[in-house]
Chain A
Amino acid sequence: MTQPRSFRYVGTRPIRQDGAEKVTGRANFGADLSFPGMLWGRVLRSPHAHAKVVSIDTSAASEIPGVKAIVTSADLPEQRPGGDPTDMYDLTRNILAREKVLYEGHPIAAVAATSREIADRAVAAIQVEYELLEPVLDLDRAIAPDAPILHAELRCAGSDPKPEGPTNVASRILIERGDVERAFADADVVIEREFTTPTVHQGYIEPFACVARTTEDGQSTLWCCTQGPFTVRSLCAALLRIETSKIKVIPSEIGGGFGGKTTVYQEPLALLLSRKSGRAVKMVMTRQEVFRATGPASASRIRVKLGAKRDGTLTAAEASLAYEAGAFKGSPVVAGAMAMFAMYDLPSVRIEGFDVVTNKPKVNAYRAPGAPMATFASESVVDELAASLEMDPIEFRLKNAVRQGSVAVYGPKLKAVGLVECLEALRDSEHYRTPLSENQGRGIACGFWFNGNMQSSAQIHVNEDGTATVVSGCPDIGGSRASLALMAAEELGIPVEQIRPIVADTETIGYNDGTGGSRVTYATGTAVIEAARDIVLQLRQRAAAFWDTQLENVGYEDGKAIPLGDAAENQQPLPLSTLARRAARMGGPIVGRSTWTARGNGPSFAAHLVDVEVDPETGRVEVLRYTAAQDAGKAIHPSYVEGQYQGGAVQGIGWALNEAYFYDAEGHLQNASFLDYRMPVASDLPMIDTIVVEVPNPNHPYGVRGVGETSIVPPLAAVANAVQAATGIRFVDLPMSPPAVLAAIDRTRG
């Protein structure tokens, strides 16, 4: 592929094409659509964390006037266990409990009624008989020999010898390379620590919301806020066992997701209720439901051991990770294990990981799933190792950082990567040289994320006046319409203002995997570039026919077909707008298309620098200054790249300092509100400075890397390292909330 040396539109900062709708309140999010005669759906949820469901009696509820449909798991077909990537046997049990309820908030039944109030009354009138079981609320209890078992059929995958009895450990994974024992023996310094992190939530501001409508011929339409409309379609079709062509998913605007909106919860229930009632059914979760019953991120316990030579060379790493999956298997422990040492050239590594079920909501992806907590552990120990060798923490990391040619811990030999450049940018920054005062500390940490590939398709329609529509199927969660339009403008050579990017429904564009894995600007962006190149080829073909010459005698520059060779003597350039206007006489409508299963997404590395002040009287940690450096490969729309760095950094700060789920002894969530689940607010924070490093991804025509997720990986350790520098105390348990920090300070005072 050609590598444009300079860009005309890429790298500029135009106003996003969906902006005016979003600042005027016109943009339609999940809960903003209604129909005349629409019903409201509500869900009956388990008040218990662990119980057998003995019986469900909906008879009284169904007699309430205005109740139009009630569904339970009896309305869903049984599924076969073991599917990949989604185990439908588990998923159908998560959307409606069958034999057991496995967490507080677990759905048991759903009701559609003529008003929300009637639906709520009907939900309350459903009689459920439970047989209470002891809840399993943490990793220690889950793995205890006498632990209550969540799933009688669960056997630990990957354990040798093959296990016989049931267990709460769903799987064991192992990453091993080199001779770890010997490498530790060769080390001059070895440090080992154990860390814990709590359950946290993605905290998107828009609760799940959808409307389903089914016509008498069995065709269903589902409007919903989701990161993956095609995923929603295929999961709903499988859960209801109906043909994919019977469901059309229209993605609304989406009010945040961060990985949390990549699966289904109430969407299949709304479909089922609409099919049963023959009416449109709207379902909107409350914030409490979002906290109690949608995928949070795993709580974890992680032991890390690292060895280094006196000169600062890392020799060996060992780690053991246990991640809570919640009610069903499938924590991101594998990704965490692969990511935690990916920043370093390490010849000898041994990482063991365990996926453990507990009586909490099933976890879902949360921005770089699995990596932030594992990197909190690894980068805390790296910092301690640097300190024990009396080395500057940046120089220590630079000495060991992966670069082109390094063999990554997770397998491949790396092409060009930008970690060294990120670290050097921080080392050379004014921030790093600024003096600190009493009770203040500075911390640094690095982070890595793979970035996803998966399937994308795109179309570009050239309009009759030479403007264009870019059609893709990945919901725009943070400015991707703008980046896709910029790439189309670059290829077509027309101003970005003349391009209208749209997110299509599942019937209007070919299959697209979801907005996730930092993949849209990379993978769907590449599809847009290829669709634009398809158009450019067609324009050249039309000009060649018009000029009665060979294709090789037609070039394309700045939005014009250019005559070359013999043609150059007697022909004038043909602008795109002219070819578009004459389309009817020159071959018909101009449509470009591209589909692919993406490959070669380049990893994005980051390094974050943070200054904190710790109040010794209250234990409050104030973030004074923050700089995030990250490799974007090529920043298509730099403002939205910076925005990804800033947003991820602040989510990580929240994870480090305050966010955590609190359960009582029976497994009831105690802080299912934004008041008590304390996410960062504007007054908690300074500006988040950004350094956009650009080491082009050799696999992409413009050098793009996905940038969305890496930014949440370094902050947990960066903040912990800064708090250590300020207090002399190494915090190994998150969050570093004021009471925890104060208690630790008090212990040092004796």
Chain B
Amino acid sequence: MPKLHIRTEINGEPAEFLAEPHQTLLDALRNELGLTGTKEGCGTGDCGACSVTFDGQLVCSCLVLAAEAEGARIGTVEGLASGEALHPLQQKFLEHAALQCGVCTPGFLVAAKALLDRNPDPDERTVRYALAGNLCRCTGYDKIIRAVLDAAAELRGEPA
């Protein structure tokens, strides 16, 4: 079967690529488009390292077929920062030392942004449940949760 020609939008920019019918969106992002910020930890939707947004919905890109991206809007970690400025979530992750090895970080950032887009004022429990689909083996989550709560406060315009 010939490759499929996919037209999509990634981080607000038009993108086109060729994909095998069985190829995942994760694989297409990483190996066809060179967007390796999205990581593969399991390939079965259990770790959240490949989190992206798909028409605004948080998904595991390893569970989405690349062909499904036709006409969709995809958001990845590469789209979080604007120009020279990091997104407040990225900045707070650095200030709180919310990453050790950093391989789960892109997935956490995308998942946390999806949460804050939907709920700008989550409590700790809400953040913990919203990020329960993202595995981190280094931090014990403490500093990640603090970074997300702090970023939420900053995005709401509250004084530090």
Alpha-carbon separation in the docked complex, A18 to B37 (Å):
15
Least Cβ–Cβ distance between A200 and chain B, in angstroms: 12
In the assembled complex, which residues on chain B have CB atoms less than 8 Å from the CB atom of A680?
Answer: 140-141
Alpha-carbon separation in the docked complex, A643 to B139 (Å):
6
The answer to whether B135 and A650 have CB atoms under 8 Å apart is no
From A25, A642, A675, B78 is in contact (CB under 8 Å) with: A25
Least Cβ–Cβ distance between A463 and chain B, in angstroms: 23
Q: A19-B99, A23-B99, A256-B101 are in contact. Are A207 and B140 (CB under 8 A)?
A: no
In the complex, whether A31 has a CB less than 8 A from a CB of chain B is yes
The answer to whether B137 and A679 have CB atoms under 8 Å apart is yes
Segment of A230-238, A433-441, A556-564, A683-691 in the binding face: A683-691
In the assembled complex, which residues on chain A have CB atoms less than 8 Å from the CB atom of B90?
Answer: 20, 23-24
Which secondary structure dominates where chain B touches chain A? loop
The answer to whether A685 and B137 have CB atoms under 8 Å apart is no
The answer to whether A25 and B37 have CB atoms under 8 Å apart is yes
In the assembled complex, which residues on chain B have CB atoms less than 8 Å from the CB atom of A20?
Answer: 86, 90, 94
Least Cβ–Cβ distance between A345 and chain B, in angstroms: 31
Alpha-carbon separation in the docked complex, A104 to B119 (Å):
46
The answer to whether B101 and A682 have CB atoms under 8 Å apart is no
The answer to whether B46 and A674 have CB atoms under 8 Å apart is yes
Least Cβ–Cβ distance between A443 and chain B, in angstroms: 18
Closest residue of A by beta carbon distance from B136: A205
In the complex, whether B41 has a CB less than 8 A from a CB of chain A is yes
The answer to whether A643 and B94 have CB atoms under 8 Å apart is no
Alpha-carbon separation in the docked complex, A34 to B20 (Å):
19
Alpha-carbon separation in the docked complex, A202 to B141 (Å):
17
In the complex, whether B19 has a CB less than 8 A from a CB of chain A is no
The answer to whether B138 and A256 have CB atoms under 8 Å apart is yes
Q: A206-B39, A679-B135, A682-B131 are in contact. Are A23 and B143 (CB under 8 A)?
A: no
Least Cβ–Cβ distance between A719 and chain B, in angstroms: 14
The answer to whether B49 and A205 have CB atoms under 8 Å apart is yes
Alpha-carbon separation in the docked complex, A454 to B54 (Å):
48
Q: Which of B77-120 contact A (CB under 8 A)?
A: 77-78, 80-81, 86, 90, 93-97, 99-106, 109
The answer to whether B137 and A682 have CB atoms under 8 Å apart is no
The answer to whether A640 and B100 have CB atoms under 8 Å apart is yes
Alpha-carbon separation in the docked complex, A308 to B90 (Å):
53
Proximity bits, B26-44, A CB within 8 Å = 1, else 0: 0000110001111111111
Least Cβ–Cβ distance between A521 and chain B, in angstroms: 13
From B44, B125, B127, B129, A673 is in contact (CB under 8 Å) with: B44
The answer to whether B49 and A16 have CB atoms under 8 Å apart is no
From A26, A255, A287, A673, B101 is in contact (CB under 8 Å) with: A255
In the complex, whether B74 has a CB less than 8 A from a CB of chain A is no
Interface residues on A, range: 35 or more
In the assembled complex, which residues on chain A have CB atoms less than 8 Å from the CB atom of B125?
Answer: 683
Alpha-carbon separation in the docked complex, A286 to B20 (Å):
20
The answer to whether A25 and B137 have CB atoms under 8 Å apart is no
In the complex, whether A28 has a CB less than 8 A from a CB of chain B is yes
In the assembled complex, which residues on chain B have CB atoms less than 8 Å from the CB atom of A479?
Answer: 97, 100
The answer to whether B97 and A286 have CB atoms under 8 Å apart is no
Alpha-carbon separation in the docked complex, A284 to B40 (Å):
10
Q: A24-B81, A675-B44, A681-B135 are in contact. Are A646 and B94 (CB under 8 A)?
A: no
The answer to whether A205 and B137 have CB atoms under 8 Å apart is yes
Closest residue of A by beta carbon distance from B96: A639
Report the interface size for chain B: residues with CB under 8 A from the other chain: 58
In the assembled complex, which residues on chain B have CB atoms less than 8 Å from the CB atom of A648?
Answer: 140
Alpha-carbon separation in the docked complex, A186 to B42 (Å):
55
The answer to whether B97 and A640 have CB atoms under 8 Å apart is yes
Alpha-carbon separation in the docked complex, A286 to B95 (Å):
33
In the assembled complex, which residues on chain A have CB atoms less than 8 Å from the CB atom of B93?
Answer: 19, 23
In the complex, whether B134 has a CB less than 8 A from a CB of chain A is yes
In the complex, whether B25 has a CB less than 8 A from a CB of chain A is no
In the assembled complex, which residues on chain B have CB atoms less than 8 Å from the CB atom of A684?
Answer: 132
Closest residue of A by beta carbon distance from B31: A34
In the assembled complex, which residues on chain B have CB atoms less than 8 Å from the CB atom of A16?
Answer: 94, 97
Least Cβ–Cβ distance between A94 and chain B, in angstroms: 24
Alpha-carbon separation in the docked complex, A255 to B140 (Å):
15
Least Cβ–Cβ distance between A372 and chain B, in angstroms: 15
The answer to whether B140 and A646 have CB atoms under 8 Å apart is yes
Alpha-carbon separation in the docked complex, A34 to B125 (Å):
40
From A18, A25, A256, A650, B77 is in contact (CB under 8 Å) with: A25
Q: Which of B30, B103, B141 has the most CB of A within 10 A?
A: B103
Closest residue of A by beta carbon distance from B45: A675
Least Cβ–Cβ distance between B56 and chain A, in angstroms: 19
Proximity bits, A1-39, B CB within 8 Å = 1, else 0: 000000000000101101110111111110110100000
The answer to whether B135 and A205 have CB atoms under 8 Å apart is yes
In the assembled complex, which residues on chain A have CB atoms less than 8 Å from the CB atom of B101?
Answer: 204-206, 253-257, 477-478
Q: Which of A685-709 contact B (CB under 8 A)?
A: 685, 687-688
Closest residue of B by beta carbon distance from A282: B31
Alpha-carbon separation in the docked complex, A34 to B90 (Å):
26
In the complex, whether A647 has a CB less than 8 A from a CB of chain B is yes
Alpha-carbon separation in the docked complex, A666 to B24 (Å):
33
The answer to whether B43 and A685 have CB atoms under 8 Å apart is no
In the assembled complex, which residues on chain A have CB atoms less than 8 Å from the CB atom of B61?
Answer: none
In the complex, whether B47 has a CB less than 8 A from a CB of chain A is yes
What 7 A-B pairs come out closest when comparing CB atoms?
A25-B37, A255-B103, A650-B140, A22-B102, A639-B97, A674-B46, A646-B140
Given A25-B38, A255-B39, A687-B142, 13 more pairs with CB closer than 8 A: A16-B94, A19-B93, A23-B99, A32-B36, A202-B137, A255-B103, A258-B137, A478-B100, A639-B143, A679-B135, A682-B129, A683-B125, A683-B128
A-B contact pairs, 17 of them (CB 8 A): A22-B102, A24-B78, A25-B36, A25-B106, A205-B41, A205-B103, A256-B100, A256-B101, A287-B41, A287-B46, A477-B101, A479-B100, A643-B97, A643-B143, A646-B139, A683-B125, A687-B142
